[in-house]
Structures are given as C-alpha cells and as structure tokens.
Amino acid sequence: MTEISALKAGLIADIEAADTLDALEGLRVGALGKNGVVTGLLKTLGGMSPEERLEKGPPIQDLRESVTAAIAERKAALEQAALDARLASEKVDMTLPADLGPQGSVHAVSQVMDELAEIFADLGFSVATGPEIEDDWHNFTALNIPETHPARAMHDTFYFPDEEGQKKMLLRTHTSPVQIRTMESFVASGQEPPIRIIAPGRVYRSDSDATHTPMFHQIEGLVIDKGITLGHLKWTLETFLKAFFEREDIVLRLRPSYFPFTEPSVEVDVGYTLTNGQRVIGGDGDAPGGGWLEVLGSGMVNRRVIEACGLDPDEWQGFAFGTGVDRLAMLKYGMNDLRAFFDGDLRWLKHYGFSALDVPTLSGGVGA
C-alpha cells in the first residue's frame, strides 16, 4: 500500500509539472498506456484470490482514477493557456493609429478569373457580362428549358416574389443568359457572327456544403460560326486546360451527357496522378495510380437556342462550355473547402492570396 501511495504521489507531481501537451501525453502513455505502470498493476488483479483482490483492488483502482483525473485537469489547463496565448497574439488594439502599410491581397477567385481571361483572349475570345438579376425567359426558356421541363429541377433557384404584369425574376443560376443576350445583341444591331465570348461572373443556387455555396463563380464560353464541329470544342478545351494548369501532358476524356441547351452534350474529365497521396492534374487517368476528375460541361449549341436568339440554325452552328471558377482554383492551388473562399479569414487570404504584381501573362506563366 505504501508503494502505491508513493507511486500515486510521484505520478501526480509529474503530471502537475508537465509544461506541454506532448510531455503530458508521454506521462499518460507511461502510466495508463498498454504497457503503463498503472495498467500493469491492474493486470495483477486477475491472478489474485478474492480475499487479496478485496484488499489490494481499491487502492489500485483509486490510483487509476486519480491519475486519470489529474491528467484531464492538467490537459484542460494547458489547452486553455495555449488558447489564451493565441488570443493575446492575435489581438488588435483598434484605438492605436495604423502603422502598417496595406495588408490586402488579390483573392484567389479574382486571380483565376484574370488567368482565364488572359488565356481565352489569346484564343480570340472577348469578355461579356450580363445582369445577375435575370428574367425567367433568358435564364431558362431561351435555353430550351420551358416551364414544364424536368431540367428545371436541376437548379435550386432563388425567385423574386411575383408582381402582376411583370416578368418572373430570379437570381441567375448560371451565366448562360449572357450567351443569349450576346446573340440577341448581334441580331438587333444587324451584325452577323462569328461570336467568341467568355462570360465569367457570380451565380446563385440554393445549396451549401464543403463543395457548394449559395453564391459561386462560373465561367461559360460560346462560339457561333459556320462549320463549327465537336472537334473545335475539344481542341479549344484542351488548349485552355494545358495553359491553365501549365502542363503539356493534360489528357481529356469526353463522356456523353445531357444539357437542354446543347446537343450533343459532353462532360469533360481531366486525367490526374497520385503523388504523395495528392491528386496532381496531368497524365492519363487510366494509367496505374491515375484517375479522372470532372471539370467541365459542354456541347454543341442546341438548334432551338440559336433559333430563339433570331439566328438561322441551318447557317450558324456553335459550341458552349461552362465550369466553376472556384472549382478550378481549388484544383490548381490545393484548396479543399469552398466555404473558406467567402469567410473573410485574413489568415486564409494571406496564405492563398496573390500579390497585385502577380499579373497573369502567357509569356511569364499564368500562375506565376
């Protein structure tokens, strides 16, 4: 009994003297781990007679409970001290005059949008914009998605309250309405294609988790000309992805899909390889250690969409594509949670932000 009392006093003294969580964990393992000293004493109870167990069991059990309680108390104290130190180091006295220069940086989304604009400008595309508060016709009907079309269930839409005599209004669910408005403007002004535009911007859908937010950024592209084929689409996307990821070994896989505004429609996957447990874009996804990631939706513009905009679908053809800007940023720069893009956490922004001097150029590297 005297030995157990002395062991208890020594262990508790060591626990109270532990100044780091690592040191405390070492003491816990030494006492209560699989081969710990207290665990060893508990194991001896199985070989004792009932009389011995009644005599020696309670002090051993008391030793275990006392050591466990002391460890928990010391751990809580160390964690609180660490939190207090962190809060003290991050505290800002708002009454002091500012003595630092500008602390801002270019957000990853803004940087990637600039990278995309640079790449597509080199391919002859211009940037087109449109309203974020859109009417139902431009957002759905003109894109071959009438009111009864089941594809509307694919979009969790934010609608504005209906007003008598007014068009049904909503927050746009994609930047495709910009394509419609661009074709309409050509017809209204008496111009003829070719049309080559990209339409980056904010879009809205009622969804929220690690890879979805109610507001996110999308970029869509549109080409309208004579004699356009699916081959032109594949070459354009392959050229774009090679420039964006700055790798020549980009391999694309096109899978048949369905979108109301394109026919035929294809999902575009890009190959990746696993390097140190991380996905690295590039290489054949069917090779050992590889795989495929879906990055784009695309297809040939549906005849009905071209016709709805006032163009002759027998004369003009085209292709369209779309992808999430935030998703491209996550893939290229190793981010794993979309919600952090909009948290406004200065630490995240400092880590993933870009200098204003990091202007994307094809000669210097878009991701320089």
Q: Please say whether the beta carbons of 113 and 200 come within 8 A.
A: yes
Integer Cα distance of 227 and 318 in angstroms: 8
**How many CB atoms lie under 10 A from the CB of residue 268?**
24
Q: Which position has the token pair 């009389």? A: 51
- State which amino acid sits at residue 142: A
Whole-number Å distance between alpha carbons of 143 and 175: 11
* Residue 290: HSE in the Cβ half-sphere, 13 Å Cα cutoff: 16
103 burial type by CB count under 10 A (0-12 exposed, 13-18 middle, 19+ buried): exposed
| Alpha carbons 292 and 294: distance in angstroms, whole number | 7
CA distances, 275 to each of 252, 287, 294, 322, 331 (Å): 19, 13, 19, 28, 14
Longest dimension (CA), the chain: 105
Residue 73 assigned as binding residue:
no
Q: Are strands 290-301 and 317-324 parallel, antiparallel or unpaired?
A: antiparallel
Q: Which two tokens stand for residue 220?
A: 């869509």
Q: 299 - beta bridge partners?
A: 265, 320
Instruction: Assess contact for 237 and 298: CB atoms under 8 A.
Output: yes
Q: Running DSSP on this structure, what letter comes out for residue 97? A: P
N- to C-terminal Cα distance for the chain? 70
Q: Please state, in angstroms and rounded to a whole number, the distance separating the CA atoms of residues 353 and 329.
A: 11
Which residues are annotated as part of the binding site? 263
Which residues are annotated as part of the binding site for Mg(2+)? 263
